[in-house]
Structure formats: C-alpha cells, structure tokens
Amino acid sequence: MSQPQRILSGIQPSGRLHLGNYFGAIREHVRLQEQGESYYFIADYHALTSLRDAKALRAHILDTAVTYLACGLDPARAVLFRQSDVPEVTELTWLLLSVSPMAMLENAVSYKDKVARGIPAEAGLFTYPVLMAADILAQDTDVVPVGRDQVQHVEIARDLAAKFNRDYGAEVFRVPDYRLGEAPYVPGTDGAKMSKSYGNTIEIFSEGKELEKAVMGIKTDSATPADKKDPEASTIYRLYALVASPAERDAMADRFRAGGLGYGEAKKALLGKVNEVFADVRARARALRADPSRVEETLRRGAERARANARAVLHRARTACGLS
C-alpha cells in the first residue's frame, strides 16, 4: 500500500490574521488535512527578518496557533508546530547554503522586491529561500501548497535538493513538488489586496464596534442606491461572495445590477454574514486563549513529530557530507 503524500506549509506570525489569510491559506490547509499527512509550521525564524520585538513575536505565535486550531485544524490529523522548535532546520540551512549558487539567491523575487521597496538587504533576507528550502526538505515533503507568488521558493528547494544529491552522490533529499491552491483574491477595505502592510484588513477575530468600523469603512464610489452597479467592481460584493451562500451571493448581485441597493445596506449585509460565518470560530478562539497550556501542548507534540522527521533527514545529509 502506498504511503499518503506528505504536505507541508508555513505561515509567518507577523500579526493578527485576517480574512485574506483565512481564504488565501488557512481554509485550504484545513481542507488538506483530509487528503494527506499534513504538517503546518509557524515560521518564527522567518519572522526575525522583519520583526525585532520579542514580546510581540511571542504574542503573534500564540495568536497564529489559536487561529489555526479555532478554524478547524485537528491535531489528531495534522501536525502543527513552531519552526524554532525544530532546530535541525538551521543546520540543514548551512549544509544547503554550501551548495547554493549566489545567482539563484540574487534572483529570488522576494529578495529583489523587498530591496526595491527599500528594505535593508540583510543576510537573513538574502538567504531566506534557503531556510525555506530546509523547512521543506527537513520533513521529506512531497507537496507544498502555495500561491503563484511562492512557486519560485519551492522551485529553489527542488533545485537545491537535486544539486545536493548530485554533488554528494547520494539520495539524501526527497525532491518536493508544489500545488497551486485555489485561493481567491481577497480585496481589502480599500480595494487593494488585503494585507497587514496596507492597513486594509478585516481581522478574523474582530467583532463588535471594531468589526463594524472596518466593514462600514470600505471605500466605495459615488454611485447612488438607485444606480445600477457592476457587482464584480464592488469590494463589498466581492467580500460578501466569500462568506455568503451561492443563493445569497446571486441575490445581492442581482440587486446590484437592477439598482435599488445602496452601499450602506450592502455593508450591513456583509457585516451580518461575517459575524454569522465566524461566530463559532471566535467562540473556539476564546476557549483556547483561556487555556494557553492546551495550545502549547499541541505545539510541543507537533514539534516532537516534526523533529523526528528532521533528525532522520539531517542524519542522511551529515553522513553524505562526511560529518556523521
């Protein structure tokens, strides 16, 4: 009988998670726990390239773990762990750096984009793709679910795995593949892609006045309620379509096209659906935050499983290099 595919993905603990994170990654990760042996890590080593506040990092790690568990990740079916609890990846990173072509790192899109935006070109940022490759290869990963903007990172992991195997004449690393997710484009409150860096998010656990302020603050054009509108051009409708049933989505689209639906009424409908869809998630999150030791135990058990995999991979790599 063939072994189930091992799936791996990670998420940076860089702040409170929002609807873009949920529909772009978390929902897909929860679904994938039914389809293979799933490993998900909270990428706190990666976060150090941009976050220099220890208290904030610890809080973000807990919040990320709570979010995944509250959204349906089942520790009995998927492994959730903190990246820094698997220190083997740092040694693997060095072994991979020893075979990493400089041109490969210089051409990494993530590095070039951040430098173009004026972010300091520190070594951590430059070697970020190699640490990511170590994360992937340390778990003998078969498949990495990614968005299109992350494909290059998996390709780098593939190239480094193959080069290391070739250079040392041993089948040390399993060469992973990527799977493009079906994540929708999630617009922020200003119409641009929802992102913490743009300050346009609707947070998963936001509620009450905070949530109302975010939703009612969605930017709109000058169309009146009586005007006919294109629903696909409306940020309100595009967000509503993510949380509503097909029938509800179609009904709002019809009202936009026919005229008679004002933006204020549409925002209230969106607010109601967000509250409805995430009510149970928020309740589970409150229970988890009230018992942080339960969350820590989940991360500890996850790290035990992830470290067992990483130790075996590191042993193969050290043996191939002559270090064992």
Tell me which H or E stretch contains 78: strand 78-82
Query: Which stretch of 4-18, 76-90, 131-145 has the lowest confidence by average pLDDT?
Result: 4-18
Catalogue all structural domains in the chain, each as residue range(s) with its CATH number: 6-185+292-321 (3.40.50.620), 196-286 (1.10.240.10)
Predicted model pTM? 0.92
Please state the three-class secondary structure of 135-188 as a single string: HHHHCCCCEEEECHHHHHHHHHHHHHHHHHHHHHCCCCCCCCEEEECCCCCCEC
Tell me the average pLDDT across 57-80: 97
pLDDT tens digits, 290-310:
999 999 999 999 999 999 999
**Is 1 a residue whose pLDDT tops 70?**
no
Of the pLDDT bands very low, low, confident and very high (cuts 50, 70, 90), residue 145 is: very high
**Is 262 a residue whose pLDDT tops 90?**
yes
Tell me the average pLDDT across 271-293: 97
- 267 with 236: CB under 8 angstroms? yes
Tell me the average pLDDT across 122-130: 93
CA separation for the pair 113, 128 (Å, rounded): 13
**Is 2 a residue whose pLDDT tops 70?**
no
